[in-house]
Structure 1
Amino acid sequence: MEADSLIQNPKKQRLNEEQGIDGNNKCFGNLPELILRHILSFLSIKTAVRTSVLSKRWQFLWTSNPYLNFGKHIPGKRTLLMNFVERVLYLRDSSDIKEFVLDFDVESDACRVKSWITAAVRRNVQTLSICLWGSRGQFSLPRCVFTCETLTSFYLDMRCILKVPPIICFSNLKVLIIENVAFSDDYTTQQLLSGLPVLETLYFENCTWGCHKVLSISAPKLHFLTIVEDDDMQNPSGCKFMIFGPSLKYFAYGGKFLNEYCLYDSLSLECLDFDVDCYDEWASDGWARQVAYRMFKVLIATPNVQDVRLYGNACEVLAYAAELLPKMPIFNNLSYLKLGSLKLQCAALWKILQNSPCLETLKFFLQIEPISDREKADIILDPMPSCFLSHLKRIKVGSYDEENDLYVIKILLKNAIVLDKMVISFEENLEMQDAFYKQLMKLPRGSQNCKIVLK
């Protein structure tokens, strides 16, 4: 809202503190101050500041706005943004800050940036989101950040080596998200991860672990753990993560398993999410076998999992260590399995299915892939997974290509004898959908109650 837009037509009745547009006292400006401050909290800080020109009553309402979001600056207006940030922090009252967001190109202004973060901490900030770039790896956070007792959520994204003070205590921190940060030594990392008594969510993405050989993550109340690796930034020699999570419910991994993950006390884990990318490494069977062993170590540690999601090459890579398949754990509680695609000839997939007797939902995120060797597929399907005979009620296929054979769908329909519904996403025109649907209806079904749905 620009100042010019606030100029009213003099022929029109003014909307002010004392009189509403209908001549009574029920105008917006007469709402209680507490409500007005609450309304301002939904506006961006820039818009909230602009309301100060509405009237004398509005002049300083914005100064207690608990949400301060300073996003990326517009090229050529860096100085204006810096002056605006400092003016807001200088004029703001002493009330607490609920959220402070800073996305900024540091360049040569590290001292000023540190003073902004410090100001937020002194106002008992609860959510701190810091994304800094252009610092050339030299920026270090103010020490007060690491002992902020009011902080409940902390997001940090900066391509720098993280330096931490001797004393760290995030006594109320529940969410910690770290991206693109370099951890230079074991002491720094363990200092950070040992001061998190109430942490519930931990997320690492594209972090560098330096010369770490072993890294311990121990948080008694940790529920959600996500680790995404970037092969260009990892320790080439590999790091062993020791994860102690008695309350862990969800573990997600994305990358090429460049590091080893050992889960302890993880019997409460409910959801396991793997997105494994090993296309480039498949030229080396030795590397693929190492990835398979690292995946298998996590599967062995989570036999009570209820929800498993396998994307990328998560299933295929297990086949490079075929000697592990007979040792696959029995997933008695697994009821939901989501796959990137279905390759019927993947022995690891069918071993997981055979070891999941209570599976109820099977979903293919992408598509069913063609069968090149039906005789081999028939061998893999013997014995048929027991869940097909007793529990499997829903099958969902994310995308079906008309050129693919109906053979796989035919096997699924024929052998899932308690199936209630099969949902297939079909991206062709309505005429082709109708022809495909007629083909489906001719296929034999083990369950006469099965409903086939095209989306």
Structure 2
Amino acid sequence: MTTKDAVKTSILSKRWRSTWTSNQYMSFSLPLGSILKSFITFVDSVLLRCTAIKAKRFLYDGPCFALIQSSLDRWLQFAIKHGVEEVSVNLRYLRYKDFLLPRILFCCTTLVNLRVSQCCFRVFGTVNWCSLKTLRIDYANLNNDGMMRVLGGSPVLEFLELKSCVGVKHIMVESKSFRELVIDSHVFRGRASMLKISAPHLLRLRLLGNSRGGEFRLDEVSSLIEAELNFNMKIALNKVKARANLVKGLLKKLHHVTKLVMGSWCLQVLLLMEARDMSLPSLECRHLILLGTAGHEGAPEAIVKILESTQLLEKLFLQTTCTPNSAIELNAESVGHRVIAGEEFWNLVRWRIYQCLMHLKHVEIVDCGANLLAWEPVLSLLKFLLQNALWLDKIVINSTNSKSSQAFEPSPRLEVARILLSQSKCSPSAKVILRYPFQGCPSV
């Protein structure tokens, strides 16, 4: 609970009258429209009466108007002096973009988890975060020198997330503890801007969100086992080569990962590459997740492009429902490529994905809608896999996330399952499983 609610427990009984003062978890939230002076007085009073020797957590969620800035700095210093382990500062309605985190924060040796949003992340001295494991920075101006000091001063850091940050051009982490990196909606600065990533012990990498006019480059990521390329890069439509080189360069560095997630923008680039006979590097991926695919014209060709390069693939996951922002923008006609529909298409490309069909065991489709017509592109693919995948164990049609308006209309899914069950199977053990939340009973 918030600290305000914790203070309210003092009215429950005489024994509870002062219990809240020993609370090690401090959480303060200031909604828009609240009286700032009253809020500051309340927080000051809480900290003044605090009897806890150690502060486990300090959370502040609210605006950072001029009246709040000096107080927030004082509150953070209180938490740091009490050996705080978790700090979260989420600034909203920010008028002043230069709120500086107190220097004492960068020498907080007890800090384990830190999240800051819209804070000025200037680092002028030594960083000593010897206990820090999780670091999230949102909407911040960074620089390479400051970032290097932060990463160098965090020897046991395991997780780093940068969301909508600008200024940093190189992330280099040599620590063996570093396990996961998330770059979300990176803001590139300058026309020829680039974000280089070098982390030899990194296990999971996620490139997400909307970016504009830059490039991701992977230098040393030899330990990666999982990678997600679910970003949208704003590159001019006529710069096909730039798009292709970006995706091809990333896949070349990710050739050894066992689990790969690709979003709709990268699949769009694959479609462009397919139309121009541009090759992809060979991938060792065994688990492939394609987000926002089969419902779009031309998407089967993008799927073939990636399947052709994943010859050891064992598990394929397709999400066929797309949000407006993630839909594939280009169809095959827009890149001068003729569309061949349905089963005819898959039979023509069978020789290209033959090696993939030798290992594929598990296919899962996330529901593409209640309309049976919407299933046509997916159905032709599933029928083809049933007839050609030698060791296929199961095809799962997952409708458990269907919208409430479709919740009790299972007939299209049942019809799809019926059609698939009537098909001849290359693998005698292949099963078709429909997971659907029928009213009154679990998914089946």
Match of 1:362 in 2: 316
Q: Which amino acid aligns with 2:140?
A: V
Give distance in 2, aligned partners of 1:51 and 1:325: 66
Aligned match of 1:170: 129
Is 1:385 matched up with 2:349? no
List aligned pairs for 1:28-427, cutoff 5 A. 43-73=1-31, 75-109=33-67, 110-133=69-92, 134-158=94-118, 161-183=120-142, 185-209=143-167, 214-220=169-175, 221-229=177-185, 233-254=187-208, 255-256=210-211, 258-278=213-233, 281=235, 284-286=237-239, 288-321=240-273, 325-331=278-284, 334-340=285-291, 341-342=293-294, 347=301, 349-366=303-320, 372-374=339-341, 378-389=347-358, 391-400=359-368, 401-404=371-374, 405=376, 406-425=379-398
Shift in Å, 1:98: 0.8
Give the SS at the match of 1:445.
coil
* Residue identity opposite 1:143 in structure 2: R
| Structure 1 residues 356-396: Cα deviation after superposition (integer angstroms, max 9, x where no partner) | 2332211101259999414665444323332312x211111
What are the ranges of 5 or more consecutive residues in structure 2 without an aligned counterpart?
A: 323-327, 333-338, 437-444
Q: Which has the higher contact order (CA 8 A, sep 6+)?
A: 2
Do the aligned partners of residues 438 and 85 (structure 1) sit closer, same or farther apart at CA in structure 2, a change above 3 Å counting? same
Is this contact kept in 2: 1:316–1:346, CA < 8 A?
no
Find the aligned partners of 2:420 and 2:104 in 1 and give their Cα distance. Answer: 65
Query: How large is the RMSD of aligned CA atoms in angstroms?
Result: 2.8
Q: Give the aligned residue type for 1:297.
A: G
8 Å Cα contact 2:255/2:281 also seen in 1: no
Query: Which structure has the bigger radius of gyration?
Result: 1
Distance 1:72 1:293, change over 3 A: farther
Cα pair distance change 1:308/1:330, threshold 3 Å: closer
For residues 295-314 of structure 1, the C-alpha deviation after alignment (integer angstroms, 9 at most, x for no partner) is: 22222222321111111221
Is the 2:280–2:309 Cα contact (8 Å) retained in structure 1? no
* Offset of residue 162 of structure 1: 2.6
1:349 aligned counterpart, secondary structure: helix
Percent identity, please: 23
Report if the CA contact (8 A) 2:30-2:39 is conserved: no
Q: In structure 2, what is the Cα distance between the partners aligned to 1:309 and 1:58?
A: 51
* TM-fit CA distance, 1:268: 1.7
The Cα offsets for residues 320-357 of structure 1, whole Å up to 9 and x where unpaired, read as 446895351331xx221111123676555334323323
Aligned position for 1:37 = none
Q: Tell me: CA distance 1:86–1:292, structure 2 relative to 1, closer, same or farther (3 Å).
A: farther
Q: Distance in 1 between matches of 2:86 and 2:4?
A: 19
TM superposition shift of 1:425 = 4.0
TM-score (norm 1): 0.80
**Residues 402 and 187 of structure 1: is their aligned pair in 2 closer, same or farther, counting only changes over 3 Å?**
same
- Give the structure-2-normalised TM-score: 0.81
Contact 1:336 1:359 (C-alpha < 8 Å) held by counterparts: yes
Alpha-carbon distance in structure 2 between the residues aligned to 1:309 and 1:198: 27
Task: Give distance in 2, aligned partners of 1:225 and 1:175.
Answer: 10
CA 1:219–1:98 in 2, change beyond 3 Å: closer, same or farther? farther
